[in-house]
A and B are shown apart, each in its own frame.
Chain A
Amino acid sequence: MTVDAVYLLQLTLNGITLGLLYALIAVGLSLIFGVMEIINFAHGELLMLGAFAMAFALPVMGLLYWPAMAVAILATMLAGLAIYEVLLAPLKPDEFERSILITLGLSIIIIHAMQYIFTATPRLVDTQYGFEGIEIGSIRITWTRVIGAGAALVAFGGLYAVLRYTQFGRAMRAIAQNREAALMVGIRPRVVARNAVVLAAGLCGLAGAAISPIQLVTPYMGQFLIFKAFALVIIGGLGNIPGAIVAAVALGLVENWIGGFFEIVWQEAAVFVIMIAVVFLRPDGLFKRGGMRVG
C-alpha cells in the first residue's frame, strides 16, 4: 500500500483539530473529578447544549462567530451552575456511584427533552466563515476547524494561567491534592467545587460551539463524544489535566489515521482497545497521577 503524503498530512491536520476539541471535554471531566471525585455523566449534554446555543445564536447575531460563541459559553456555564446547585452540591466526595447515577438520569432527561422540543433532525450550522478554508498546496482545511483548534489552544493557555497563578485556581489544586489540609487553611470546598463545575461547563460550551459548524448538531451528539472523553480521562489518568490533553490529541490523530485507511468500525474500536491496553499495562493511566497538577 502506498501512502499518499498529502492525504496523510490532511488526515493529520484533521486529527489535531478534532483532538483539541476532544481535549476540551476531557479536561472539564478531569477538573471536576480532581476537585469533587465524581464523574459528570451529563457532560456530553452540556456540550450538546453549547452546540444548540450556538446554532440558535448565530442567525440572531447575523452569523457572527465570536458573539455567538460567547453566548454558547455563557449558556453552558449557567447550566453548569444550575446542575451544581441542584444536584451535585449535596453529594459527598465518596459517593461516586451515586454521582454517576444522578447525572445519568439528568443526561437522559436533557437528551429526550431536547429531542421532544427540537426533534431529532440533524441541523447544519452556518457561520460567517461558511465552508471556506485555507488551502496550502492540495491540502484544505476549513476556517471553522482552524478557529476551533485555535480557541481550544487559547482556552488551555488560559486554564493553565488560572490554575497556576490565581488564588481561584490554587484553591482548586489544593482541594484536589489534599482535601483535609485545604479545609484547615480555610478553603471552602463547596465554593471551589462550584467554580470547578462552572469552569468545566464553560470549556464544554466552548467545545460545543466550536464543534457545531464542523459536525451536524443533534440531541445525541454529546453521547458519542462523551464516551471518548471518558476513555481519554482513563488513558490520561483520572484527574490529570495535561495527561487528558495529550491523550486527546493523540486519539484524534490515531482515529483519523485509522479512519483514512481502514473500515469505520476500527476507528470506533480504537479508543476502547487503547484504553484496555493502557489499563492493563498502567492501571493509573499513562501519566503518573498525583493530585491535580498543572506543570
Chain B
Amino acid sequence: MKLAAALVAALLFAALPLLTTSNYIMGVGVSALIFTVAAAALNLIYGYTGLLSFAQLGFWGIGGYATALTVVTFGGTFWWGLVWAALINAAVALVVGYPTLRTNRHAFVIVTLTFALLATLIARDWVDLTRGALGIPNLPPPVAFGYEFGTTGRFYWIAWGFSVAMLTFLYALCTSRIGRTLVAIKQNEPLVRAQGISPMPYKLASFALSAAITGAAGGVYSFHLGIIDPLFLDFYYMQTFLIIVIIGGAGSFWGVVVSGIALSALPEVLRFSADFRMIIYGLILVVAMFVMPSGVAGWLRERRLARLRKTLR
C-alpha cells in the first residue's frame, strides 16, 4: 500500500517537467528532491541509529566541493565527481567516526558539530584549493552520452534519478535486518551487546553511508546551483535537514520523505527575507521540540496506539 503510493508519487514527480515549463517550479522541485535525500541520510544516522550528527553539513559541503573540483580542477566528469564525493566522505566519516564513536553520545554530537564548522572555515581559508570566498563559478552542465543536461528541465532528471535511487536504497537498508539492528542499538545498546552483536561496525557503517549519500547529494546540488562558494556550507542547510527530520519524525522513513518534499516547498511559498526565514525556522525547531518531539509520524503513531487501547478497554 505504502509502496504503491510511493511509486505513484515518484512517477508523478517524474512527470513534473512535462506538466510545467516554468524553470522556477522545476528548480524548487530539484531542491525538494535533493534536500529529501540529505534529510533521509540524516534520518539514517539520527532517527535510526540514534546518533545526532551535525557533520552532515560538512559532508554536504565536502561533497559539493569534491564534485566541483573533480570537474573544474582535475578535468574529470560530473559522474566521477559524485563517486569521489561519496568515497571521500565515507573515508572522512570513518576517520572522524572511529575515535568519536568509542566515547559517549555527548562527545559525538559536539565533535560532529565542530567538524561541520571547521569545514566551513576550511572552505573559506584554504584558498589554494577552494579559491576562498570567491568560490568556483560557472560549473559546466553534466554530459552523458553526448546529451547535455544544460537546462533546469533537463537537470531535473538527474535530481529525480538520483533521489529515487538513493531513497530506494535507504528504504531497503532501513527495513532490512541491518535497519532493525540500528534501531535496537538506539533503543538499548547493552541488550544488543548481550545478543552477541557488536554495535561499533553498525554505527560506523551507518555514519559512513549517511556521509557518502549526503556528499553525493551536495555534489548534485552544487551543479544545480552552478556555483560553489563557502556559503554552500551555511548553517541554513543543516537546519533545513534537521527540521525536515524532526517535523517528519525521526526514525520514520516515510514521515521524513513526505516532510522533506513539503518543507522544501514551504520557504518558497513563504517568501520572507533571509533573516526572517531563519528566525521562523528557529521558532519551528524550538516549538516542535516542546510540542511534538517525535514529529508528525510519532504523533500519528501515538494517536493510533491510543485508539487501539480505547477499543481494547
* Chain A residues engaging chain B, CB cutoff 8 angstroms: 33, 37, 39, 87, 90, 96-98, 100-102, 104-109, 111-113, 115-116, 223-224, 227, 230-231, 233-234, 238, 263-265, 268-269, 271-272, 275-276, 279-280, 283-284
Contact of B122 among A39, A265, A284 (CB under 8 A): A265
The reply to whether the CB of B133 lies closer than 8 angstroms to some CB of chain A is no
Contact of A98 among B100, B105, B122, B293 (CB under 8 A): B293
A residues in contact with B113, CB < 8 Å:
227, 230
Question: How long is the Cα–Cα vector from A272 to B281 in the complex, in angstroms?
Answer: 28
Cβ < 8 Å to A, chain B residues 280-295 = 281-286, 289-290, 293
Question: How long is the Cα–Cα vector from A160 to B53 in the complex, in angstroms?
Answer: 34
Once the chains bind, are B275 and A112 in contact (CB under 8 Å)? yes
Once the chains bind, are A279 and B100 in contact (CB under 8 Å)? yes
Once the chains bind, are A116 and B276 in contact (CB under 8 Å)? yes
B residues in contact with A90, CB < 8 Å:
290
Q: Interface of chain B, helix or strand or loop or mixed?
A: helix
The tally of CB-CB contacts under 8 A between chains A and B is: 121
Question: How long is the Cα–Cα vector from A230 to B100 in the complex, in angstroms?
Answer: 14
Once the chains bind, are B279 and A113 in contact (CB under 8 Å)? yes
Question: How long is the Cα–Cα vector from A100 to B96 in the complex, in angstroms?
Answer: 20
Q: Considering only CB atoms, which chain B residue lies closest to A228 in the complex? A: B114
Chain B interface category by residue count? 35 or more
B residues in contact with A116, CB < 8 Å:
273, 275-276, 279
Once the chains bind, are A109 and B279 in contact (CB under 8 Å)? yes
Q: Which of B111, B273, B276 has the most CB of A within 10 A?
A: B111
What would be 11 A-B contacts, judged by CB atoms less than 8 Å apart?
A: A97-B109, A101-B52, A105-B282, A112-B276, A230-B113, A231-B114, A234-B114, A271-B118, A272-B115, A275-B111, A276-B99
Minimum CB–CB distance for A85 against chain B, Å: 14
* Chain B residues engaging chain A, CB cutoff 8 angstroms: 52, 95-96, 98-100, 102-103, 105-107, 109-111, 113-115, 117-118, 121-122, 125-126, 235, 239, 242, 246, 273, 275-276, 278-279, 281-286, 289-290, 293
Contact of A224 among B117, B239, B284 (CB under 8 A): B117
Q: Considering only CB atoms, which chain B residue lies closest to A95 in the complex? A: B293
Q: Interface of chain A, helix or strand or loop or mixed?
A: helix
Contact of B107 among A100, A115, A271, A279 (CB under 8 A): A279
Question: How long is the Cα–Cα vector from A106 to B100 in the complex, in angstroms?
Answer: 26
**Which 8 A-B residue pairings sit nearest by Cβ, starting from the closest?**
A105-B285, A280-B99, A108-B282, A109-B282, A105-B286, A227-B117, A265-B125, A283-B103
Given A230-B110, A230-B113, A101-B246 contact (CB < 8 Å): yes
A residues in contact with B100, CB < 8 Å:
276, 279
Q: Which of A104, A234, A238, A269 has the most CB of B within 10 A?
A: A104
Minimum CB–CB distance for B127 against chain A, Å: 8
Minimum CB–CB distance for A8 against chain B, Å: 23
Once the chains bind, are B118 and A268 in contact (CB under 8 Å)? yes
Once the chains bind, are B109 and A87 in contact (CB under 8 Å)? no
Known: A105-B284, A238-B107. 15 other contacts (CB 8 A): A100-B109, A101-B242, A104-B239, A105-B281, A105-B286, A107-B282, A108-B279, A108-B281, A109-B286, A112-B276, A230-B114, A238-B106, A271-B118, A279-B107, A280-B98
